[in-house]
Structure 1
Amino acid sequence: MLGSTAKDAGDGVIALRPDHLEQAHGLSQALVWPYRLEDWAFALNLGRGFAVEADGRLVGTALWWPYGDSFATIGMIIVSPDAQRQGIGRRLMAALLADAAGRRMTLISTKDGEPLYTQLGFKPFGIVTQHQAILAKVPPIDSAVPVRAARPEDHAAIATIDERASGMNRTRLLDALFAIADVVVVEREGEVLGYGCVRRWGRGVVIGPVIARDQTDARAIIATLASGQEGGFVRIDVTEACGLAPWLVEIGLPQVDRVSAMALGEPPQAQPGAVLFALSNQSLG
């Protein structure tokens, strides 16, 4: 577990530990963030976390996830409502940035967090729209797109197209997702050209990541993943640039939020042939 190795960072900031997670879950619940305790454990196991305690209770958290040797994503930055305006968020970010130093970093910013991230040198580079609802009716699947369930032998090809689209080596994330998610791929003439995941998360399920060569394939992947979710709560976070938002609204997943993607250093660059349509979730990217 990477999260258990983060050293105490000084200034009252300590490593976030597994025994903190029930309190961390309580912090996210107080902000009406949808994380389950299992989602916290999944995130900490993949990354490194910091915390601040006051009077024996947790009042702040911040996590980051290494992707290869060059990149990191940042998320789950929370300060208890009754402990805000005390510099806790800034102290947590200082510890996190020192721990991840040398990497180019990205995060998805809330409106409240954006002033601090801007002061720390982060710059916006894109928009993410959040779509969610009880899915009243599953969308039709385009039978012309050859979508099938992923097999273990597909994992290397999935990792390759994921890195092409995300600009980062996310092998550890993918390995963790494959262990808990339903995964489908688009295959043509023996070549895997796209993939998508759906897994239990938050209030129901989250669809993502979704990577494909174009919108037609992305819609078929999403429709396939949603096919077993009728009557259930479905969430998907997509880049505004991918252009899927209007279609998601049409199939019954209205937009409920619009947030900024920000980077410290040059953001990761996609390569031709694969497009990142949906994130795994806003924290993990």
Structure 2
Amino acid sequence: MAATEPVGIVGLDVDDAQAVMMLSTEAGWNQNEADWRFFLSRGAVFGMRNGARLVATAALLPYSAGNAWISMVLVTADFRRRGIATKLVDACLNAAARRGLTTWLDATPDGAAVYGPLGFEPTLQLRRLRLTKPQDTGTIPSLSDGNLDALAARDAGAMGFDRSTLLAEFSARSGSRIVSGDRAMALIRDGRTARHIGPLLADRADQALALVDAIVRSETGPWLIDAVYSQEEFLSGLVALGWTIERPFQRMRFGPAAISPVQPPFAVAGPEFG
């Protein structure tokens, strides 16, 4: 094997936080170090090195009820198109199979073309939107502090399984907020380049839009949100409020779905977390 080829798959831990941050920053992603430390401490993160240099990663994050999320599939620019990402995803799938886990991921269009032949089946679609400056829509809607237990319960209904550990970690971070208003709830947290809204749960699209409007006019952005594509009224409402669609994601599943969600969310926690 040539000296310029990475050798073998290695497991990563919290001591690798700075190295993995370099990969996601190179890709322009919004993850911060707190996100990576959650993956490294709570999940299984696999990597490949070229000498001492980390050149690729993929992460498996277990949830409850036999579910797990695959994400953070990153390869530095000069090592792409060598099959490295596929090998790392296979490592995640093998680890999930040993534990009997159904795996999920949110893929870009290019990623979906890779994951489909591996056995992943498409489920719902997402659209990532960005807002730099909110519109002045008149009176700011009411915004109250939300409750973690209530958010976790509604999130479990939307996902089909419990993610209270993830949401508790998010909400405990400096700068994070759980907010509510008129039967809508959302979690807000810092990213590397923008504040992120999600998950966002509501009974109706108008409630979800009112909450987003209140959030973005209550503090300084920029903002990112990952909206569920089938929530058409909500998505079109965001665009009307000045949000710009940046890219699509396709949610995919490998293995059987154990539980059917009660109602899809209006926005998710992010493609890296589901």
Q: Shorter-chain TM-score: which interval?
A: 0.7 to 0.9
Aligned CA distance change for structure 1 residues 28 and 65 (closer, same or farther; 3 Å):
same
RMSD: 2.1
Question: How much does 1:277 deviate?
Answer: 0.8
Aligned CA distance change for structure 1 residues 246 and 140 (closer, same or farther; 3 Å):
farther
Question: How much does 1:141 deviate?
Answer: 6.3
Residue ranges of structure 1 left out of the alignment (5+ in a row): 1-10, 188-192
Measured in 2, the distance between the counterparts of 1:279 and 1:97 equals 23
Out of 155-164 and 248-257, give the one that drifted further.
Answer: 155-164
Aligned CA distance change for structure 1 residues 29 and 157 (closer, same or farther; 3 Å):
closer
For residue 278 of structure 1, what is the aligned residue in structure 2? 267
Question: How much does 1:140 deviate?
Answer: 5.2
2:245 is aligned with 1:247: no
1:9-24 counterparts in 2 under 5 A? 12-24=8-20
Indicate conservation of the 8 Å contact 2:199/2:267, yes or no.
yes
Q: What is the one-letter code of the residue matched to 2:261?
A: A
Measured in 2, the distance between the counterparts of 1:223 and 1:20 equals 38
Give the total of aligned pairs: 262
Indicate conservation of the 8 Å contact 1:245/1:255, yes or no.
no
Residue ranges of structure 2 left out of the alignment (5+ in a row): 1-6
Measured in 2, the distance between the counterparts of 1:168 and 1:61 equals 26
The SS at the match of 2:208 is helix
Question: How much does 1:202 deviate?
Answer: 2.6
Indicate conservation of the 8 Å contact 2:108/2:248, yes or no.
no
Out of 232-241 and 66-75, give the one that drifted further.
Answer: 66-75
Aligned CA distance change for structure 1 residues 73 and 248 (closer, same or farther; 3 Å):
same
Measured in 2, the distance between the counterparts of 1:141 and 1:171 equals 33
Question: How much does 1:279 deviate?
Answer: 1.1
Question: Structure 1 vs Structure 2: percent identity of aligned residues?
Answer: 27
Q: What is the one-letter code of the residue matched to 2:227?
A: V
Q: Which one of 46, 67, 85 corresponds to residue 89 of structure 1?
A: 85
The SS at the match of 1:196 is strand
For residue 203 of structure 1, what is the aligned residue in structure 2? 193
The SS at the match of 2:161 is coil
1:118-157 counterparts in 2 under 5 A? 118-137=116-135, 139=137, 143=141, 147-150=143-146, 154-157=147-150
The SS at the match of 2:41 is helix
1:105-116 counterparts in 2 under 5 A? 105-116=103-114
Measured in 2, the distance between the counterparts of 1:170 and 1:234 equals 23
Q: Which one of 100, 103, 106 corresponds to residue 101 of structure 2?
A: 103
Out of 173-182 and 259-268, give the one that drifted further.
Answer: 259-268
Q: Which one of 28, 32, 39 corresponds to residue 24 of structure 2?
A: 28
1:157-236 counterparts in 2 under 5 A? 157-180=150-173, 181-186=176-181, 193-230=183-220, 232-236=221-225
Measured in 1, the distance between the counterparts of 2:205 and 2:139 equals 13
Indicate conservation of the 8 Å contact 1:213/1:275, yes or no.
no
Measured in 2, the distance between the counterparts of 1:28 and 1:155 equals 29
2:60 is aligned with 1:64: yes
Question: How much does 1:278 deviate?
Answer: 0.7
Q: TM-score, normalised by structure 1?
A: 0.84
The SS at the match of 1:211 is strand
Out of 67-76 and 45-54, give the one that drifted further.
Answer: 45-54
For residue 261 of structure 1, what is the aligned residue in structure 2? 251
Q: What is the one-letter code of the residue matched to 1:133?
A: L
Question: How much does 1:281 deviate?
Answer: 1.2
